[in-house]
A = this chain, B = another copy of it.
Amino acid sequence: MAKSKKKDKPVILITNDDGIAAPGIRNLVDSVKDLGKIVVVAPDKPQSGMGHAITIGVPLRLHPVALFEGVEAWQCSGTPVDCVKLAVDKVLRRKPDLCLSGINHGSNHSINVIYSGTMSAAVEAAIESIPSVGFSLLDYSVEADFTGAKKYARLIVELLLKNSFDKHLVLNVNIPAVPEELIAGMKVCRQAYAKYEEDFMQRIDPSGRQYYWLTGKFVNFDKGKDTDVWALEHNYVSVVPVQFDLTNYVLKSKLEKTWKL
């Protein structure tokens, strides 16, 4: 990984989508605090499910906060992607050497990568030529045990700081919700083909009008043993490298032949 000067500590930007007060981001900061100069820029409120949303019609606020001992931290009124953009342009005024997002409270495996604010922040960093990793623990609880997640977050950051990787690297790392000693190790995987089957909950408000809550059942269509879902079911930490070139090259060839343009 490129550092500005050989002897300088690497600059590590940390963000999330659960908001700057979530336990997950505090655990992430703790786990890598001594590996670089940490700067936190994170949303001032929960931003789960925001995907790659950016804030266009409304201005953004950015305030310094003293939430992490000895670590510069800012809360931002926007989305996780806004946080990365503001961090680079207005807080750091340079590209950090690495961007970390999370640790998310809840899984971001398989199709979740597309809805996840945690992962979209990481993808945004990679678009800006900043290698990045999103971390998610398969436990939604505020009292989740982050011991295993912290260990693997640190291990992955050490690996990335040691080896030189592409500046567009993005890793989607999910950690199973089991005690640290039961984690079987790490597995590099592909994204499982899975989806949510929608089932909106229909209710009536006090004025007699209908409204809907989004709910859904997770369905995994993918029986492959090389997927993130398989790895997590077998107590591995799943590591899926992610790309932002969304071109479907197989379909591209097929269309070129079929449409004869």
Residues of A at under 8 Å CB distance from B?
46, 48-57, 59-62, 81-82, 85-86, 88-90, 111, 113-115, 120, 123, 127-128, 159, 163, 165-166, 169-170, 185-191, 193, 195, 198-200, 202-203, 209-214, 216, 239-249, 251-252, 254-256, 258-259, 261
Contacts and interface: CB of A to CB of B under 8 A. Distances in A.
29 contacts: A49-B54, A50-B51, A51-B52, A51-B53, A51-B81, A52-B120, A54-B214, A56-B214, A59-B211, A60-B214, A85-B200, A86-B198, A86-B212, A113-B246, A114-B123, A114-B246, A165-B251, A185-B261, A186-B259, A188-B255, A188-B256, A190-B245, A190-B252, A191-B247, A240-B247, A241-B251, A242-B246, A243-B246, A244-B246
Contact of A89 (B86, B90, B170, B198): B198
Nearest to A211: B59
Contacts of A186: 259, 261
Closest 7 interchain pairs by CB?
A51-B52, A241-B251, A243-B248, A241-B248, A59-B211, A51-B51, A89-B198
